[in-house]
Structure 1
Amino acid sequence: MTLARAEIVVDLAAIRHNVTTLAERVAPALMMTVVKADGYGHGMVEVARAAREAGAPWLGVATPDEALALRAAGDVGRLLCWLSLPGEAVAPLLEADVDVTAYDVVELAAVVDAARATGRTARLQLKVDTGLHRGGSTVADWPALVAAARAAEVDGLVRVTGVWSHFAAAEDPDHPANDAQEQVFRAALAAAEEAGLAPEVRHLANSAAALLRSSARFDLVRCGIASYGIDPAPDVPDGPDATPEGPKPGLVPAMTVQAPLVLVKALAPGDGVSYGHTWTADRATTVGLVPLGYGDGVPRHAAAGVGSDAAAEVLVDGRRRPVRGRVCMDQLMVDLDGDTPPAGTAAVLFGPGGQGEPTALDWARACGTIDYEIVTRVGARPRRRYVDGAAPVASVVASGATTGATSASTVGGPA
């Protein structure tokens, strides 16, 4: 049987479960599933469809290209876009019924011009910077922005559908920035109301705040990483008394990354592995070649002594095996400790963790980063295979083994 190359298996049932679970947690606030960055590496169109099927009334994307790609795929629900570049065309977004965001009066003017040009009333959301000091209006400029937005509303050119902001440290419930930002946001809402605005939705909470800070849920929460089954606050303990909000809900990681072993070879003591020989065998052992590398989004510094003191691990033949030597562009090596599994044996980089495989968080900690980055960056070359229900981990990876799967080329509108 011809072996398949590396693949990302995405469980759409897990996405639906997570969206439903999160929606129940935050009710009566509404749920926005964030599908930017190609659905955090999971596939934007397919994830969007699953989220809509689970009842998500809103989707969120960063760029106009992402928003328009969703519309081209058939999505017709409420959709917020928040990161346009200066001079980027706004009219196509208005024509596609996308809610757009303005950070200042210059962006607002561009939206107003597009509304005049298209003859459509723009659905506009205003973002205020409450302390992240990234995108959004400064507090000093906020009164002028809400006044200008209200004037555009009176002229029938825009409808202000939302006011929002973003936390800097919601994953740390005790961080003083959380209280400070929420206070600034409430003041910004009051200023908007005084200017005559009555936004449909007010939203501040990201995934971590949606789970850990009920006071910040307002009318809508934006759940990105949690929608994919990844704990947005892994350092916050779980349990009935862990947080004022109670135990964290049961989320299911949706992504598994696996590839077949290409070969197994024996090493003698003193043999070095990969570029620079950053790891040398201190005993007779065996190593396995996995056809995934930094060209596929695997962090180059995943081995001990390269980026951290601990090595990332890969599940092979029922055991976790440490990465040895530098990760290459197309491949990496794992220490098999004398075992000789046959070529074609599945090597699972990470998955839900329920069958002994490492998780994205395990890889993140070994690489000195966050699990957001691990799942988002993987996928430059591996195909995606979609399943609807738990996918077996560490099964033989072979071409044709796609029962119950949707090919990566499948497109269609989210329901």
Structure 2
Amino acid sequence: MDMNSFKQEVILYSKEIGIDKIGFTSATAFTELKGRLIRQQELDYQSGFEEADIEKRVRPELIFDKPQSIISIALAYPSKLKDAPQSTKSERRGIFCRASWGTDYHTVLRNKLQLLENFIKDKVPGAMMKSMVDTGELSDRAVAERAGIGWSAKNSMIITPEFGSYVYLGDMITNLPFEPDQPMEDQCGTCNKCVDVCPTGALVQGGQLNSKRCIAFLTQTKGFLPDEFRTKIGNRLYGCDTCQTVCPKNKGMDFHFHEEMEPDPELAKPLLKPLLTISNRDFKETYGHVSGSWRGKKPIQRNAILALAHFKDETALPLLIQVMKNDPRPVIRGTAAWAVGKIGQEQAVSALEEARMKEKDEEVLAEIEKGLQFTLETK
């Protein structure tokens, strides 16, 4: 079989099914990545969400029998929200990051990869493939970089010349010897904006991310958010786009190619107060199809409470006080106590003192004390 001709067939078919960019690379080990991953592990910069076995992340032959090549795909997603609802003083809103707008990208990309797999198998019945999106063993960014999709930027994302960094990535390991494409040269140059403006200093330096300080990671955790980050997340409910929105390479990049990626403005920028009491069923029905729901409602609710404190939303005090007193989850009760103190007012003091008398959980009691301290500082 003429693999060069077949590669062109695959590329043409990928366009037909709505894949915005496709690249090919060899299945040899990612030796340079291995050193970086080991260093990240030594520094404790990993999030814990990634594959723990570094060898599997850098050696395709450990997860696929006799791999010959890897295909990388990219789909462009929107960066601008049409008809975005506005926050008001009495109706404050949070924000989901752009990568969580529309249908969960894992679903969208897996569907595209499945179509691509079917096409290849129809043409080459003996072809074997393994596809993955985000949660696979390989680093999708390392694959995309080597396959010429874009370059690995200082914000630790892949930037494409055509779509900026607003792309979802997926990979497919194959046993077919596709000719590899050429990687791109780094085009960040001397620009350091993403590193300079990172709200928590998670971008240690260009290309090096301390995931444990990244707001995108922090918004997904389920416990108490460390104090130093609580005033940093603003009204972010899930994820963070700062290092993308400041990037000059993203200026003017906004693509609406895929209907399933189009956001519902009311879900992308939801009202905060209703989130505090949303039921599990309503949360699943409303947000279950977006990627930002994968950790459940608890992190979103905790972040919504912090957002109300960020806005110092006095209209939310009665609801926050009820949450502080009645919610069965210590993290939510305690975060609400912290927020009540941050917002202040006379009713905050009496509510916090009353809660302190009844509360049994030590961590929640500590948050109540913090809240009371805030009220003293504002007097």
Determine which structure has the larger helix proportion and give its number.
Answer: 2
Do they superpose with TM above 0.5?
A: no
Q: How would you bin the TM-score normalised by the shorter chain?
A: under 0.3
Determine which structure has the larger strand proportion and give its number.
Answer: 1
With the length of structure 1 as denominator, give the TM-score of the two structures.
Answer: 0.20
With the length of structure 2 as denominator, give the TM-score of the two structures.
Answer: 0.21
